[in-house]
Each structure stands twice: as C-alpha cells, then as structure tokens.
Amino acid sequence: MSLSYQLEILWYQAERMRSLGWAEYLSVQMSPDRKTMKALYWTRPPVPMPTGAQRARYKPVPLFGGTLTIAIESVKARSARSPEEIVLARIQQHVKLGNTRPSDEVEPLKLSASWEPSTGVLAVNIPPHELTLPAGTLTIVCWSATFPKHYLHSVIGGR
C-alpha cells in the first residue's frame, strides 16, 4: 500500500510541476490501475510538413524528448530475501506472535524506474547503447524520492 501512495505522490509532484510552468514541456500519464506513471518531457507541438523541394530532405522531429516510466513491479519472493533471512523472519514472527497470524502479509513489490529517450531527438542518430544510463542511476529510495529532484534531474540535468 505504501508504494501506491509513493507513486501517487510522485504523480502529484509531476502534475504540480506542470501547473507551475512546465505544462508546455511535460506530459504526465497514470495507468488506469494506478501502478504505472509515465512522464514525457520536452514535449512540442507537431511541425507542419514542408512543401516543395524541402520535403525530400525533411526529417520529422520527435514530438517529445523521452519517457520516464515509474512502475510498481513484483519481485520474485526468493530473490527478495536470502534463505537465512527467510528463516530468521519466521523465527522472529513466531517469537513475536506465537501461533497467531499477522493481520497482513508483506507483498514482494518494488518501485522501478526506466528512461527511454526518443530516437533522433538530439538531431543526430545515436546508437541505443550510448543512451543507456548506468545501472543504479535511477535506483529508487522510496523515503527520499521526489519527482523533480530525483528523476527529472537524473535524466535531463545530469547526476
């Protein structure tokens, strides 16, 4: 449940950025099941198609710079904890609760972020492997993540 709240907070922050002057450059979408948020940045209106001789060498410019996707994803239960941690958690639960069952179970979920730049947005075709962020750049720390500072700055402004 707290990951859902965190995703809603990130969505609210992105929408707030739009209301404070970024509406022209930022589009935010939330999936109907509220488990995935997409932010399209550097949005621009479509450019009219040139006529005549210029039409042959016209290369359309992408309508947005890229997409930042933040989603709630399932984690394999086995990969979330080591066997020792599982046994330790069972012992702790038995010591604390005895034979009673907890009111809720911990779901193996996490927030994940991915960045996908638009092809040709930099006016030069760059190979996809050159546009890949290093592993861990968009690692999510739920208690300190903010949309403008943590995500948008990592993708657009640098590290």
**pLDDT per residue as tens digits for the range 59-93:** 777 788 888 899 998 877 655 677 888 888 889 88
pLDDT of residue 11: 92
Write down the H helix ranges in the chain. Answer: 2-17, 77-80, 83-97
List Cβ neighbours of 117 (8 Å cut-off, separation of 6 or more): 65, 66, 131
- Which residues partner with 136 through β-bridges? none
d(CA 80, CA 26): 34
Which residues of the chain are modeled with pLDDT < 70? 1, 77-80, 122-124, 131-159
